[in-house]
Amino acid sequence: MRVIVIGAGVLGSMHAWQAVQRGHEVVHIEREAEARGASVRNFGLIWVSGRAAGEELATALRARELWEEIGAAVPGLGFRANGSLTAVTTEAELAVARAALDRPDAAERGFRLLTPGEVRAAEPALRGELLGALACDRDAAVEPRTAQRALKEALLRSGRYTFLGGREVRDVIGGNTVRDDRGELHSGDAVVLCTGAWLGGLARELAPELPVRRVRLQMMQTAPLGERLAASVADADSFRYYPAYGGTALDAMAAAQAQPPTAAEHKTQLLMVQRADGGLTIGDTHEYAEPFSFDVDEAPYGHLASVAEALLGRPLPQIRRRWAGVYAQCVDTSRVVHRERVRDGVWLVTGPGGRGMTCSPAIAETTANELGW
């Protein structure tokens, strides 16, 4: 087959990967010279721990297997099975962590509850005052700034892959041909649009009632920490934003300890990952009301820095970069992704939300299976 993939973020790249791995030819069209959206503006987390039971967890677990396989084939992804630690500092937070251990799928997620001494033995860089941490052995990470480029280079080596950057697809003609903004036509046996947060233009024409919204987040990156932080780290506010932790223990935590005003206003959780260069990627916030601001707000950065410093027990290195990103999320957040046949032979796949980096390999595998590739 000849497959036309629109959009070179992680979701589009994984659809291209699936097609090439199954012996097909791919023409991959991206409106930027390289991917510049949420796929590179994220933590690079493969985050199994907080996923909702059922389809979402199954998708994340399958994606985790695929990431490891692809990471072995493409070392440039920077895949590492580093796990995660969600640090707890109060009895109410500790109760949520203990409740997570009682889940019937706790073993699938790789949950373990660590004592303060075990946390320090595993992560000497965490010197703050902790009551323990919820570990998730199934969590992992890649390098988001280089992962798409590494995938593209691997796909090019296959001899069955063509990348066309700096082209915007303007029209779908029939069920197998697209026209780009240079007027050139590209035909194939199937067309898959992975347009990310670009929900206007062609995406709106093909699916005017698309049940997807956009979400904006803010993040930052530091200079090298100067010591190793092996696992990805979260604070207990992250319990509030992941469905796996819902229940009476979380309700009690929310009643006992309100978020600080800045954190509540910006819907903030701490996630912290050490990059290959030793720096820390730190975030994030959640903004849902459009139009989004064109600038970034300093207040959540200050809050996130203070939480990170409390867990590390030391000042952060210099902040070198701050940025905002926008991703697409299904309005029904219980859905892993929105997959719609918008014309015969033409599929639109979008809206994984903050699960995009985690779940994209399995989402693409499901698309390939459903389309009979």
Query: What spatial distance separates the first Cα and last Cα of the chain, rounded to whole Å?
Result: 8
Q: Is residue 175 scored above 80 in pLDDT?
A: no
In which order are the strands placed within the sheet that holds 232-234? 111-114, 132-136, 84-88, 232-234, 271-274, 280-283, 212-222, 319-330
Q: Say if residues 194 and 367 touch (Cβ distance below 8 Å).
A: no
DSSP states of 222-241: ESP-SS---SEEE-GGGGGG
Same fold, 1-78+141-211+336-373 and 84-137+212-330: no
The half-sphere exposure of 105 on its side-chain side, counting CA atoms within 13 A, is: 16
pLDDT grade for 171, boundaries at 50, 70 and 90 = very high
- CA 347 to each of CA 15, 166, 214: distance values in angstroms, whole numbers, following the listed order: 11, 22, 20
Query: Three-state SS for 192?
Result: strand
How large is the average pLDDT for residues 283-304?
96
- Residue 102 has a pLDDT of 96
Q: Strand, helix or coil at 356? A: helix
**In whole angstroms, what is the distance from residue 222 CA to residue 148 CA?**
22
Say if domain 1-78+141-211+336-373 classifies as CATH 3.40.50.410.
no
Structure tokens at 64: 């985790």
Using 50, 70 and 90 to split pLDDT, how confident is the model at 76? very high
- With DSSP H G I counted as helix, E B as strand and the rest as coil, what are the percentages for the chain, rounded to 5? 35, 25, 40
Decide if pLDDT at 231 tops 80: yes
Q: Domain 84-137+212-330 is in which class? A: alpha beta
Q: Tell me the pTM.
A: 0.96
Average per-residue pLDDT for the chain: 96
Give me the pLDDT at residue 136, please.
98
Phi–psi pair at 350, nearest 5 degrees: -160, 175
pLDDT digits (tens, 9 = 90+) for 97-128: 999 999 999 999 999 999 999 999 999 999 99
Structure tokens at 116: 């303060």
* Amino acid 36: pLDDT: 87
Please give the pLDDT value at position 365: 98
In order of 99, 132, 238, the CA distances from 96 in angstroms are 5, 12, 11
Torsion, Cα 248 249 255 260, to 10 degrees, reads: -140
Mean local confidence (pLDDT), 120-139? 97
* Strand 25-30, strand 161-165: pairing: parallel
Backbone dihedral region for residue 304 (phi beyond 0: left; psi -120 to 50: alpha; all else: beta): alpha
Proportion of the chain above pLDDT 70, given as a percent = 100
pLDDT tier at 174, thresholds 50, 70, 90: confident
Q: Cβ contacts of residue 294 below 8 Å, gap of 6+?
A: none
Q: How many other CB atoms sit within 10 Å of the CB of residue 6?
A: 29
Structural domain spans, the chain: 1-78+141-211+336-373, 84-137+212-330
The band of 38, judged by pLDDT with boundaries at 50, 70 and 90, is confident
Of 104 and 176, more confident:
104
Cβ proximity of 40 and 148 under 8 Å: yes
How many other CB atoms are found less than 10 A from the CB of residue 148?
23
Residue located via tokens 């251990």 = 101
Alpha-helix residue ranges (DSSP H) falling in 165-238: 201-206
DSSP helix/strand/coil, 178:
strand
User: How much is the average pLDDT of 305-333?
Assistant: 97
